[in-house]
């Protein structure tokens, strides 16, 4: 999504702050299914007619991006949304048959977006009696949870029983109004614990002479046994996946159990103790933050899962997610869009335990989620989980090429942990 330079045709709102600027290049996609109705024979035509009016009722769907003196800025949308028919298998099929489904990211589709169009985009597919609805939006406005809010706006036109989300105002520059309990100093100072993350010699694959693309892998596990285990041990699905992922990393890189690894957990800052009441109720706009629990491994897998769960709880009870958002927001100058000088060294060559359990999409039938980004460098693998009826979907966001034995080792450990708690591949 390459924005063009601001012209008199666009109504300037403000520059993207540092948080939004970092998130802008990534695009969230949420896909769901509907039964094809005889009342809507051509879905693309129907949405092109109905959706622009509905988009005008929400703040988030009136936002577009241009550049001003080369710096990205928000403008008021002046064009109808990008609505396009795409292949039915754009994000792969659901029929896993106990196998991993690998999908190349559809980055080429987003080249059709133009400045002035709303940032949310709509792709539709039909096959026999099924409609697949794909909602896409820049990560600066949506995350893996709140993308469902935009999905509800569009899907309400296909099924009026799906309620519209609560409209939300765009955050002020810097995001600090969302977390009023933070002092200005707290909101603009990175936590010492983040600065003190463990460092080590480089052990990630070398990047020289490699061109990387974005790839998604999907597999599924039966959910009933996972749910029973979580209730018995009083842990979350997040902790189970963290245990499995760190075991895979330790096995592949030959890292001993007692060596601390850094969790890189995309977290929901709406649940922060510093969030405003309005922020806690938001169903739109991005609230994604990264938190960094430190974890070690145990010989007993249940002890390890409990340890991961404890580490996550401690992080969630802190201000870490809120400060991550506001600190990044402060790294751009509101007057001219320039980067501020308050940089910090976030580099660590230890492999991140990148895991995020999104939860459950209440209004999406047969969901598939994807986060795509264009990058010329190797990105850390992040594993997402989300429940759909009787299955837990596990989604790997990763770079390609990536050593096949690395991916095989991680998946092997996921299979091992989920099998131990009674779950099986679907």
| Domain boundaries, given as residue ranges, for the chain | 11-94+105-158, 176-364+373-421
What is the average per-residue pLDDT within 348-353?
68
pLDDT in tens, 7-55: 888 999 999 999 999 999 899 999 999 998 878 889 999 999 999 999 9
- Residues 85 and 6: their CA atoms lie apart, in Å, by 29
Query: What are the CA-CA distances from residue 308 to residues 130, 157, 293, 298, 412 (Å)?
Result: 40, 42, 8, 10, 19
User: For residues 307 and 313, what is the distance between their CA atoms, to the nearest angstrom?
Assistant: 10
pLDDT, average across residues 292-321: 93
The reply to whether omega before 299 is within 30° of 0 (cis) is no
Please give the average per-residue pLDDT across 66-77, as a whole number: 95
What is the per-residue pLDDT for 296? 93
Cα torsion through 266, 381, 306, 349, rounded to 10: -100
In CATH, the number for domain 11-94+105-158 is 3.30.559.10
Decide if pLDDT at 192 tops 70. yes
pLDDT at 399: 81
Q: Is residue 110 a contact partner of residue 139, using CB atoms and an 8 Å limit?
A: no
Equal fold, 11-94+105-158 vs 176-364+373-421 = yes
| 64, 160, 371 from 244: Cα distances, Å | 40, 41, 21
What's the rounded mean pLDDT across residues 345-356? 70
Tokens of 372: 């795509």
Please tell me the predicted confidence (pLDDT) of residue 355. Answer: 92
- The 10s digit of each residue's pLDDT in 414-423 is 999 999 999 9
Token representation of residue 289: 């933050």
Mean pLDDT of the chain: 90
pLDDT, average across residues 379-392: 89
Task: List own/partner pairs for 134-137 with CB under 8 A and 24 or more apart.
Answer: 134/29, 134/30, 134/31, 134/86, 134/90, 134/91, 135/29, 135/30, 135/31, 136/27, 136/28, 136/29, 136/109, 136/110, 137/27, 137/28
Q: 184 — phi, psi (to 5°)?
A: -60, -40
What is the CATH code for 176-364+373-421? 3.30.559.30
Asked if 325 contacts 289 with a C-beta cutoff of 8 angstroms, the reply is yes
């Amino acid at each position: 999504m390459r924005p063009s330079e601001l012209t008199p045709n666009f109504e300037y709102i403000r520059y993207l702050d540092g948080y939004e600027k970092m998130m802008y290049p990534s695009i969230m996609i949420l896909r769901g299914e509907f039964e094809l109705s005889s009342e809507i024979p051509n879905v693309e035509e129907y949405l092109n007619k109905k959706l622009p009016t509905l988009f005008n009722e929400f703040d988030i769907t009136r936002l577009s991006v241009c550049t001003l003196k080369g710096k990205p800025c928000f403008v008021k949308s002046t064009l109808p949304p990008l609505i396009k028919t795409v292949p039915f298998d754009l994000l792969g099929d659901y029929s896993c048959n106990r196998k991993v489904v690998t999908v190349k990211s559809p980055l080429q589709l987003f080249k059709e977006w133009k400045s002035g169009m709303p940032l949310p985009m709509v792709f539709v597919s039909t096959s026999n009696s099924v409609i697949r609805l794909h909602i896409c939006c820049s990560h600066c406005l949506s995350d893996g949870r709140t993308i469902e809010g935009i999905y509800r706006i569009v899907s309400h036109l296909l099924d009026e029983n799906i309620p519209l989300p609560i409209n939300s105002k765009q955050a002020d520059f810097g995001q600090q109004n969302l977390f009023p309990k933070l002092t200005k100093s707290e909101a603009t100072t990175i936590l010492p614990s983040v600065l003190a993350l463990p460092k080590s010699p480089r052990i990630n694959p070398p990047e020289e002479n490699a061109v990387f693309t974005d790839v998604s892998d999907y597999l599924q596990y039966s959910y009933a046994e996972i749910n029973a285990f979580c209730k018995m041990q009083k842990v979350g699905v997040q902790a189970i996946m963290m245990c499995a992922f760190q075991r895979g990393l330790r096995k592949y890189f030959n890292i001993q159990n007692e060596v601390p690894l850094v969790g890189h957990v995309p977290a929901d800052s709406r649940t922060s103790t510093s969030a405003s009441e309005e922020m806690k109720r938001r169903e739109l706009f991005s609230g994604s933050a990264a938190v960094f629990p430190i974890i070690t491994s145990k010989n007993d897998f249940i002890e390890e899962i409990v340890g991961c769960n404890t580490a996550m709880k401690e992080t969630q009870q802190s201000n870490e997610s809120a400060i991550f958002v506001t600190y990044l927001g402060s790294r751009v100058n509101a007057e001219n869009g320039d980067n501020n000088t308050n940089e910090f060294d976030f580099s660590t060559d230890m492999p991140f335990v990148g895991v995020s359990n999104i939860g459950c999409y209440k209004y999406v039938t047969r969901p598939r989620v994807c986060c795509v980004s264009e990058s010329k460098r190797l990105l850390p693998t992040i594993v997402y989980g989300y429940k759909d009826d009787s299955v837990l979907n596990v989604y790997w966001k990763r770079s390609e090429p990536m050593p096949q034995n690395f991916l095989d080792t991680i998946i092997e450990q996921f299979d091992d942990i989920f099998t131990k708690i009674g779950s099986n591949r679907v």
